[in-house]
Amino acid sequence: MTALSPFQGLNLDRLLEARAHERPDHPFLIWAPFEGEAKTWTYRQFAVDAARLAGGLAKRGIGPGDRVLVHFENCPETLLVRFALARLGAVCVATNALAAGPEITHYAETSRAVAAITQASFAGTVAAHACGLRFVAVSGGNGEDSLAALFADPVSAHPAAESDTAAIMFTTGTSGKPKGVVWTHANVLWGSRYSAQVYGHRSDDVSLISLPLFHVVGLCWSFLPVLWAGGTAVLQPRFSASRFWPASIAHRATLASHVLFTSMALQSQAIPERHFYRQWTVARGDRQSQAYNRIPAFVPSWGMTELVAPGICGDPHAPPAEAALGRPSLAHQVRVSDPQGHPVRSGETGELTIKGVRGLSIFKEYDGNAEATAAAFDAEGFFRTGDRVTLLDGGWIKFSDRASDIIKVGGEGVSPSEIEGVVRGVAGVRDVAVVAAQDDAYGQVPVAFVEAEAMPGRDLEGDILASCRTSLARFKVPRRVVIMSELPRVGNAKIARAKLKQML
């Protein structure tokens, strides 16, 4: 790495413009809805639509540095909005479509968003919980605040520098509330280029994308490499096991990305006699799944929102070790250390820390949270991932557990303390601890152990679940609530979470 950025003079808008000039008539985005006809944008058509949308947003007062909440399920509009904002030098604040109202309030307030753009099904919730915005534009809506009404004459591009903020993606931290991860334009371009090279994207590839675009895997590991390589993306509204193979065959898909939940869900589906896949990006090496689906190459990968591109990954040209996440990235310094800071040996487990270049190969900072940013790095500048991994023979790395007790529900990171904060607000709850239970479909699910007085005639469990459903995204709602007269504790009165896991 040198002081001169590899993306000097570039930004996300200029990348799109370059591809539109080089491959104007090549299909860039194919929208494959579950109902209705598919729709295709060539590179030129997509660039023109993004420029026209930027023109309308500029007329509504959106300009360089403005933060705009972008709250969508997978759809073409969420991508057009992202590129329109990049053209204006504005910041895309991409939020989880499963978020509940109070979570949207947190996203809007902490990011200092000035406006929001969403789909019709979320418009009421966004308007009610993201207060003080200039406007809320709605895809599929009517009137001046409809997204369609924002399309205008194309506007000239703002010359955003590669070091300027392009996006804020929210991640779950140990403190409970999601933190805003700041990505510069260089970060986004880095994710595009490095992921394309790691996964061997080609201009003739067709990538089926069903993972959410508000997450790093769907966006930076799956969609953006398509743009860098000049290929074609086929976008589905969400993952559907029953619709995965029909869409794959219809569009002759050659690449796809999976988290543990989606690859497990496909085990129940019949495999077509012939398909066109040459490679899948997966959560871990799995010979049985690879053989069952008849995929020539499985490329396991591990990363975080903060790392942008994969920090540990496999090789399209080498079969991975069973259950491995991959080997250390070529672009980062990767350490696996014991509690004393010494490197672990093969067969041993330790803390995973990773070092990159801030604002390029690793995120710039946590938005508006200097304390959390400083705490995320050790004295040598290595990022503390919070994961514990095991070093295998041959340099392969296998996931062990989360040092911070983050629960992974179908690929979504869930903070126990966030759920606990909601449960403690229910009358009658003295204390609570949320731990992970293993689940065949989702990998893990949250279970709440609640310390409370016996209250005959009251459905405390029902009250707790109702409160959680109101305040939390549904994947964060506890799968079970266990009422106890007293939670197990260790000598310093700290809740013995290990004992609760044993009880499960």
Q: What is the pLDDT of residues 370-421, one digit of tens each?
A: 999 999 999 999 999 989 899 999 999 998 877 767 888 988 888 888 899 8
Tokens representing residue 224 in the block: 């953006």
d(CA 163, CA 186): 6
Confidence at residue 174, expressed as pLDDT on a 0 to 100 scale: 43
Least confident range of 349-353, 415-419, 484-488: 415-419
Q: pLDDT band at 171, cuts 50/70/90?
A: confident
d(CA 65, CA 141): 26
Helix (H, G, I), strand (E, B), or coil: what is residue 90?
coil
Note the pLDDT tens digit of each residue in 201-229: 999 999 999 999 999 999 999 999 999 99
Confidence at residue 176, expressed as pLDDT on a 0 to 100 scale: 63
The answer on pLDDT for 2 being more than 60 is no
Q: pLDDT band at 232, cuts 50/70/90?
A: very high
Place of tokens 């909440």: 69
**pTM for this structure?**
0.89
Other CB atoms within 10 A of residue 163 CB: 16
List Cα–Cα distances, 347 to 325, 343, 352, 398, 400, in angstroms. 15, 12, 15, 10, 11
The answer on pLDDT for 492 being more than 70 is no
The answer on pLDDT for 458 being more than 60 is yes
d(CA 202, CA 205): 5
d(CA 261, CA 264): 5
Other CB atoms within 10 A of residue 22 CB: 11
Question: In terms of Cα–Cα distance, which of 416, 390, 247 is closest to 325?
Answer: 390
Q: Residues in the chain, how many? A: 504
Q: pLDDT band at 493, cuts 50/70/90?
A: low
Other CB atoms within 10 A of residue 129 CB: 19
d(CA 434, CA 71): 28
d(CA 277, CA 208): 10
The answer on pLDDT for 36 being more than 70 is yes
363: phi then psi, degrees, rounded to nearest 5: -55, 160
Confidence at residue 456, expressed as pLDDT on a 0 to 100 scale: 85
Helix (H, G, I), strand (E, B), or coil: what is residue 422?
helix
Helix (H, G, I), strand (E, B), or coil: what is residue 293?
helix
For the chain, give the percent of residues with pLDDT over 90: 84
Burial 270-297 (b: 16+ CB within 10 A, else e): eeeeebebebbbbbbbbeebbeebebeb
Beta strand 206-209 pairing with 165-171 = unpaired
Helix (H, G, I), strand (E, B), or coil: what is residue 392?
coil
The answer on pLDDT for 172 being more than 70 is no
Confidence at residue 125, expressed as pLDDT on a 0 to 100 scale: 96
Helix (H, G, I), strand (E, B), or coil: what is residue 361?
coil
Is the separation of the CB atoms in 295 and 277 below 8 Å?
yes
The answer on pLDDT for 496 being more than 90 is no
Tokens representing residue 371 in the block: 């304390």
Confidence at residue 140, expressed as pLDDT on a 0 to 100 scale: 87
Other CB atoms within 10 A of residue 482 CB: 15
Helix (H, G, I), strand (E, B), or coil: what is residue 394?
helix
Tokens representing residue 271 in the block: 């495999």
448: phi then psi, degrees, rounded to nearest 5: -105, 120
Pick the CATH number of 407-503 from 3.40.718.10, 3.30.300.30, 1.10.3720.10, 3.30.1180.20: 3.30.300.30
Is the separation of the CB atoms in 136 and 145 below 8 Å?
yes
d(CA 201, CA 230): 9
The answer on pLDDT for 173 being more than 60 is no
Confidence at residue 233, expressed as pLDDT on a 0 to 100 scale: 98
Note the pLDDT tens digit of each residue in 272-293: 999 999 999 999 999 999 999 9
12-22 and 43-59 helices, crossing angle to 10°: 140
3-state helix, strand, coil in the chain (%, to 5): 30, 25, 40
The answer on pLDDT for 8 being more than 80 is yes
> For residue 343, which amino acid is it?
P
Least confident range of 52-66, 152-166, 454-468: 454-468
Helix (H, G, I), strand (E, B), or coil: what is residue 51?
helix
Question: In terms of Cα–Cα distance, which of 220, 188, 392 is closest to 303?
Answer: 220
> For residue 358, which amino acid is it?
R
460: which residues sit within 8 A by CB, 6+ positions away?
426, 428, 429, 450, 452, 481, 483
Note the pLDDT tens digit of each residue in 59-72: 999 999 999 999 99
Mean pLDDT of 250-256: 98
Average pLDDT, the chain: 94
The answer on pLDDT for 39 being more than 80 is yes
The answer on pLDDT for 1 being more than 60 is no
d(CA 114, CA 358): 26
Tokens representing residue 47 in the block: 């660039």
Angle at 202 between CA 20 and CA 331, to 5 degrees: 100
